[in-house]
């Protein structure tokens, strides 16, 4: 693989690592293969094997994680040449898909697996980190990689509380000084990235509720626990109660995704189930959320005579971008694409388990634009018709490559 160098107007080389056309085409094909064969969290065996095989072809030595899915791979470090310098830069990708059908029409690379789709762009994230690894491996062979870099391909990001905890427990952050990630953003044009220092995502927990009580005939609701009404009141009243018990600036929101009860129009059921998420912009409010939400559910259920069982599943804290690492990404993107390629972005209510890495080492996540410039329709994340402008893969690889080169000269620890 022959790598090109960026050049300033005078013709002097600035940063190596611009992708040749052959590698661009290969990475698009790799992404499409992953897109056609999506795998759920902790089941990414084919995906892991594909990544491992390509890294090994490049002369690298990836190590599959103890769970059997996901892997890490160091570039510039071997058993014969251990690294004892400043903490290396890590690049993280998530590799799992979502349990929803691919609804894209007339797409040659749509999912071949029923009710499975890469509808959050993890196939793009994976391909970006893989492509970066291939570029950095070539730079290392040429003697132009100043400091080792670690690639982390993480399983099960979509499974709360996220696969990041298992990756960290396996020692993936040992020797790491900084960590980077990208996340697809369908509201940003391909060729651009969105950056934000501080919190860029929210905390996210999962909520599962069972309501029970004696049912009966709809002609005599006064002799029953009217579970349908009780469930409806939980749906409407709990978010309102919680919203009055926390600072509104925290952005704490209870939102429902499933409600199920009953089988016949004239029978009051004995059981109801609800499920949803609790999201929060502020980490202090997130720490208070379980007690607050559970208390509100119990109050509403008791008011209607229903017995409640609550499963509050702790998820992830907000992703809080380090200022210095965010500026590293800004410098890297500016070096590649100019000042106009970077835009400021807002904190979202989406959750991301990249936050667990940032509890241990400084790092930052960038929003990678994947909308085709000029396209008006937004194909949102977690929707069956989601797709990405594949030119974003090249942008992501060159962003990470530049960040790796600039990082080595920007710190000593």
d(CA 318, CA 359): 10
Which one, of 353, 391, 397, 358, lies nearest residue 375 by Cα? 391
By C-alpha distance, which of 42, 184, 163 is closest to 99?
42
Question: Is residue 228 within 8 Å of residue 222, measured between CB atoms?
Answer: no
CA 91 to chain centre: 13
Q: In sequence order, what DSSP letters do the residues of 33-54 get, joined into one string?
A: HHHHS---TT--HHHHHHHHHH
- pLDDT by 10s per residue, the chain, length 413: 656 555 444 333 357 778 899 999 999 999 999 999 999 999 999 999 999 999 999 999 999 999 999 999 999 987 676 777 789 999 999 999 999 999 999 999 999 999 999 999 999 999 999 999 999 999 999 999 999 999 999 999 999 888 999 999 999 999 999 999 999 999 999 999 999 999 999 999 999 999 999 999 999 999 999 999 999 999 999 999 999 999 988 999 999 999 999 999 999 999 999 999 999 998 889 999 999 999 999 999 999 999 999 999 999 999 999 999 999 999 999 999 999 999 999 999 899 999 999 999 999 999 999 999 999 888 899 999 999 999 999 999 999 999 999 998 776 66
Choose among 354, 323, 326: nearest CA to 168.
354
CB–CB of 184/94 below 8 Å?
no
The conformation of residue 11, written as its DSSP 8-state character, comes to S
| DSSP sequence for 149-188 | EEEEEE--TTSTT-THHHHHHTTTTTTEEEEEEEEEEEEE
Residue 383: how many other CB atoms lie within 10 Å: 16
- Quote the tokens at residue 234: 């939980």
Q: Which residues fall within 8 angstroms of residue 164, CB to CB, at 6 or more apart?
A: 154, 157, 316, 353, 354, 355, 356, 357
To which residue do tokens 């509403």 refer? 300
The distance from CA 394 to its chain's CA centroid, rounded to whole angstroms, is 19
CA dihedral 136, 137, 139, 145 (to 10 degrees): 70
Residues 6+ apart with CB under 8 A from 54: 30, 130, 134
pLDDT digits (tens, 9 = 90+) for 293-329: 999 999 999 999 999 999 999 999 999 999 999 999 9
Q: Give the DSSP letter of residue 276.
A: E
pTM above 0.75, yes or no: yes
Strands (E), 218-356: 253-261, 267-268, 271-280, 307-316, 320-321, 342-344
Backbone phi, psi, residue 337, to 5°: -125, -5
Q: Are 331 and 406 in contact (CB under 8 A)?
A: yes
Spatial separation of the C-alpha atoms in residues 22 and 43, rounded to whole Å:
31
Instruction: Render pLDDT for 255-297 as a digit per residue (tens, 0 to 9).
Output: 999 999 999 999 999 999 999 999 999 888 999 999 999 999 9
Tokens, residue 104: 């894209």
CA distances from 198 to 90, 186, 283, 317 (A): 19, 21, 12, 13
């Amino acid at each position: 693989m022959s790598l090109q160098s960026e050049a300033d107007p005078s013709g002097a080389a600035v940063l190596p690592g611009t992708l040749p056309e052959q590698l661009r085409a290969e990475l698009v094909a790799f992404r499409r293969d992953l897109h056609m064969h999506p795998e759920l969290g902790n089941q990414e065996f084919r995906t892991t094997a594909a990544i491992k095989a390509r890294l090994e072809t490049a002369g690298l030595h990836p190590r599959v994680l103890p769970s059997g899915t996901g892997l890490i791979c160091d570039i510039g470090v071997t058993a014969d040449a251990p690294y004892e310098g400043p903490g290396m830069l890590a690049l993280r990708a998530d590799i799992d898909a979502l349990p929803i059908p691919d609804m894209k029409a007339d797409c040659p690379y749509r999912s071949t697996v029923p009710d499975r789709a890469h509808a959050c762009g993890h196939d793009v994230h994976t391909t970006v980190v893989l492509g970066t690894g291939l570029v950095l491996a070539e730079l290392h062979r040429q003697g132009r990689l100043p400091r080792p870099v670690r690639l982390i391909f993480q399983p099960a990001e979509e499974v709360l509380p996220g696969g990041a905890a298992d990756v960290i427990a396996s020692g993936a952050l040992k020797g790491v000084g900084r960590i980077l990630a990208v996340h697809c953003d369908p509201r940003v044009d391909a060729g651009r990235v969105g950056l934000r220092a501080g919190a860029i995502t929210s905390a996210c927990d999962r909520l599962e509720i069972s309501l029970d009580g004696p049912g009966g005939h709809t002609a005599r609701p006064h002799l029953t626990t009217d579970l349908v009404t009780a469930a409806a009141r939980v749906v409407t009243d709990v978010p309102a109660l919680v919203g009055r018990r926390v600072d509104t600036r925290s952005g704490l929101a209870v939102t429902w995704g499933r409600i199920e009860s009953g089988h016949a129009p004239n029978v009051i059921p004995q059981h109801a189930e609800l499920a949803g998420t609790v999201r929060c912009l502020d980490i202090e409010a997130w720490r208070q959320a379980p007690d607050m939400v559970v208390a509100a559910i119990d109050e509403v259920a008791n008011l209607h005579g229903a017995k409640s069982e609550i499963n509050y599943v702790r998820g992830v804290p907000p992703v809080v971008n380090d200022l210095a690492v965010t500026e590293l990404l800004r410098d890297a993107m500016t070096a590649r694409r100019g000042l106009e390629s970077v835009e400021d972005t807002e904190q979202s209510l989406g959750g991301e388990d990249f936050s667990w890495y940032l509890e241990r080492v400084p790092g930052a996540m960038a929003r990678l634009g994947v909308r085709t410039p000029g396209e008006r329709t937004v194909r949102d994340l977690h929707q069956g018709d989601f797709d990405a402008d594949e030119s974003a893969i090249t942008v992501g690889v060159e962003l990470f490559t530049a960040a790796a080169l600039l990082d080595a000269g920007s710190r000593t620890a």
